[in-house]
Structure 1
Amino acid sequence: MIKTNNNPNTTIRKTLMTARLFDGFWERWIAHGVEKEAVFEVRNSLQDVENWVNGFLDYAFTHYEAAEKASNAQAEYHYRLSGLYYNLIHWIYPQNSSRKQHWYKKSKELFILADQLSSTKCSLETICIDEHRCAGRVRTPKQPKGCIIILNPIDSTKEELFSYEEHFIALGFATVSFDGPGQGETYTLNGLKGTTKRWDVFLNELISFSKKTFHDLPIYLFGTSSAGTWSIYGSANRYIDKAVAVSPAFGNGVSLPEYFTERLNYVIEDNETILPRLKDVSDYKGVLLFHGNKDVMVSDGEVHQLHSTLPNPKKIVEYSQEGHCCNHKLVEVRTQSTQWFLEDVQQ
């Protein structure tokens, strides 16, 4: 990764400009639960960071107030959505700071309130990497069919992807979702940046933790973008039964948006990449790939080449109209993933 001398205010301005000009910027957030009307309202008034903060804060308050008046099931939903808006506010600050920490803590508080109302058991756990705590959530429905480890893209948090937890739980699976080095709580509150080595250690520790917690269940991996690459890499672990990778990133000189590259500079150690090298392909097992043919970051050729070298059982699903992360097909992606996990593939 090329390092620059970042000014966080400059990075924020570039982020806001991208948010104003490009519809695609918002696809991720809408796919993860941010309401379209919130995007429309904030985007139209987006001149500075205070517009971002105050605009989404209104929606965080609205859903908090709705939760306070609602029955348990509806209150749980509104608390999580309020937490998502606080998470979006925290996200706009690329550099660790008191403001970033404040808004992250608010997000976490709302998710804890939701967890207390949930019919699904939830525990907050930690894994220690380089004397820092990596924070995570474990949710366990009654009689789970398996355990899905949700690996989050480097620029995301476990709270942002709460809809993945909800969907997998509804489909009968326990979920394990941690913030790895450079992510969410692990970076913002515990100060651990990302490196490839730390992620390697983190992933193996996370898999071991999950197997110890759910020793009688099959363990699966699910990851998107950079986390998709780690999902493939992790499939070589002896405790993993199958893995899913959505738009796995290859890092082959693809030009990323400048605001995004600058954001990564804050959470990744100097001169580091965050992607593993997928070299021992024969060791990977049970991999399902999802790819959008309009992905400008990952080419059809790269995905097809990877798929051709993976050992059986394997599968690839392509969407002709989808871009990176297949944001408009995520419900279908998650449903097909659980079918893949349970399928006894005969080769």
Structure 2
Amino acid sequence: MEKLDSAVILKTIHRTLKTARLFDVFWERWLVHGLDENDLQKARSHIHSLEGWYMTWADLAEIKEQKGRELEALNNMREAEKTYRQTALYYNLNYWIDPSYSKAKKEWYQKSVHFMKKADSLSDSKTIYKKLSLNDQSLCSGRIRVPKNPQGVIIIVNPIDSTKEELYLYEMDFLQKGFITMSFDGPGQGETFVVNGVTGTRVRWESFIHQVIEYANKSYPDLPIHLFGTSLAASWVLYGSSHKYVEKAVAVSPAVELDRMNMPGYFMKRMECSCIVDDKDEEETERSIPKFTEIKYRAPVLVFYGSQDMMITKNEFSRLYKNISSEKSLVEYEEEGHVCNRKLKEIRDTACSWFTGEFNMKEAQS
């Protein structure tokens, strides 16, 4: 993969910062993943430059860290755990803003991992850290969280520019419902990218999905395995639904082919830093998205879609959904956009109820 010119990267960062300043919708993702709204209001007036962004989130992370230490001193381990996870999220914001590989990016990410592990050490649930080797010997890093008396495994497939540390609220919800969670940084993501040096290609992603599913089956052979993902991750959930070990799959706002999406220009440039998205040669393309026409659907799929989705039009989504050949059901939210951010907690609860068989797919379409 060709390395992007530094001027292009700086322009991409500038466009990201401008979007963050001007559009409230930019922050929905981070708010539903644990960002404190009061902290966001403090931050927005200070993020006109990359240096301002770094300083703002580092300062807020340090405040969270101090609060976590105070809670530990009071023996309030549950709240300390939550606070350290927020600390990790704030450092994750500094990891995220520069999409290219850099020493600073790696250092911010390591701070995020440190505080997530600190939170893990205070948790009632066991956490296992694991590296999986892909077919080309690339290493993908992950975390497995295990509740008492688990009733199943949920593999959380992370969106293309997310990390396994960002979606900790997903882990917490699934753990509370009695599910083991497996969350790995795929090719081009998080630790797999900045520490192990692995970029994203279609072949690597295909190998990654298979390896995680097979690891889950090998580790917990008596438990059902489910998949959960949003956006581009949901597309790989659809791909994974063909695996014989997967019992059920949930896809939230699954992405379609990249040239059929209304992807923001700055976001496409961000993706180019860690994975292949170009299609100059259609015969040899390694774009990091499944070949939808070749998916052999097997497991039942529950799909969620927001009617106000500007990235994936209703026509494109309908085309994708129509081609899902296994048992399927759709829950559509009229007022939601891409990823149905304001409904994600409800979606996770619905997914768990469906995984456990508390109601069938048709009843999920209320």
| TM bracket, shorter-chain basis | over 0.9
- Name the aligned partner's letter for residue 273 of structure 2: Y
Residue in structure 1 matched with residue 220 of structure 2 by the alignment = 214
Residue in structure 2 matched with residue 102 of structure 1 by the alignment = 107
Rounded to whole Å, the distance in 2 between the matches of 1:86 and 1:25 is 18
Match of 1:331 among 324, 345, 353: 345
Contact 1:285 1:311 in 2 (8 A): no
Residue in structure 1 matched with residue 282 of structure 2 by the alignment = none
Question: How far does residue 304 in structure 1 lie from its aligned partner after superposition?
Answer: 2.8
Structure 2 CA distance for partners of 1:2 and 1:254, relative to 1, 3 Å: farther
* Deviates further, 337-346 or 223-232: 337-346
Contact 2:133 2:140 in 1 (8 A): yes
Residue in structure 1 matched with residue 263 of structure 2 by the alignment = 256
What TM-score comes out, normalization by structure 1 length?
0.95
- Name the aligned partner's letter for residue 29 of structure 2: R
Where does 1:271-282 land on structure 2 (aligned, <5 Å)? Answer: 271=278, 272-280=286-294
Contact 2:302 2:361 in 1 (8 A): no
Residue in structure 2 matched with residue 28 of structure 1 by the alignment = 29
Rounded to whole Å, the distance in 1 between the matches of 2:254 and 2:5 is 28
Question: How far does residue 180 in structure 1 lie from its aligned partner after superposition?
Answer: 0.3
Question: How far does residue 5 in structure 1 lie from its aligned partner after superposition?
Answer: 4.4
Contact 2:262 2:310 in 1 (8 A): no
Structure 2 CA distance for partners of 1:312 and 1:202, relative to 1, 3 Å: closer
- Name the aligned partner's letter for residue 230 of structure 2: T
Where does 1:146-165 land on structure 2 (aligned, <5 Å)? Answer: 146-165=152-171
The yes-or-no answer on 1:82 pairing with 2:87 is yes
The yes-or-no answer on 1:265 pairing with 2:272 is yes
SS at match of 2:186: coil
Match of 1:224 among 224, 230, 234: 230
Residue in structure 2 matched with residue 300 of structure 1 by the alignment = 314
Question: How far does residue 207 in structure 1 lie from its aligned partner after superposition?
Answer: 0.4
Rounded to whole Å, the distance in 2 between the matches of 1:346 and 1:11 is 42
Residue in structure 2 matched with residue 242 of structure 1 by the alignment = 248
- 1:159-180 per-position Cα deviation (integer Å, ceiling 9, x unaligned): 0111100111011111000000
Rounded to whole Å, the distance in 2 between the matches of 1:171 and 1:101 is 34
SS at match of 2:124: coil
Residue in structure 2 matched with residue 181 of structure 1 by the alignment = 187
Rounded to whole Å, the distance in 1 between the matches of 2:247 and 2:144 is 19
Question: How far does residue 270 in structure 1 lie from its aligned partner after superposition?
Answer: 7.0
Question: How far does residue 312 in structure 1 lie from its aligned partner after superposition?
Answer: 4.8
Question: How far does residue 253 in structure 1 lie from its aligned partner after superposition?
Answer: 3.0
What count of residue pairs does the alignment treat as equivalent? 347
Question: How far does residue 10 in structure 1 lie from its aligned partner after superposition?
Answer: 1.8
Match of 2:297 among 283, 308, 332: 283
Question: How far does residue 259 in structure 1 lie from its aligned partner after superposition?
Answer: 1.6
Rounded to whole Å, the distance in 2 between the matches of 1:156 and 1:124 is 18
Contact 2:277 2:288 in 1 (8 A): no
Contact 1:244 1:337 in 2 (8 A): yes
- Name the aligned partner's letter for residue 297 of structure 1: M
Structure 2 CA distance for partners of 1:247 and 1:6, relative to 1, 3 Å: farther
Rounded to whole Å, the distance in 1 between the matches of 2:39 and 2:251 is 30
Rounded to whole Å, the distance in 1 between the matches of 2:297 and 2:111 is 42
Residue in structure 2 matched with residue 171 of structure 1 by the alignment = 177
Unmatched 5+ residue regions in structure 2? 279-285
Rounded to whole Å, the distance in 2 between the matches of 1:180 and 1:59 is 28
Where does 1:191-202 land on structure 2 (aligned, <5 Å)? Answer: 191-202=197-208
- Name the aligned partner's letter for residue 93 of structure 1: D
* Deviates further, 104-113 or 302-311: 302-311
SS at match of 1:279: helix
- Name the aligned partner's letter for residue 38 of structure 1: D
Contact 1:285 1:310 in 2 (8 A): no
Unmatched 5+ residue regions in structure 1? none
**Percent pairwise identity:** 42
- 1:208-227 per-position Cα deviation (integer Å, ceiling 9, x unaligned): 00111111100000011001
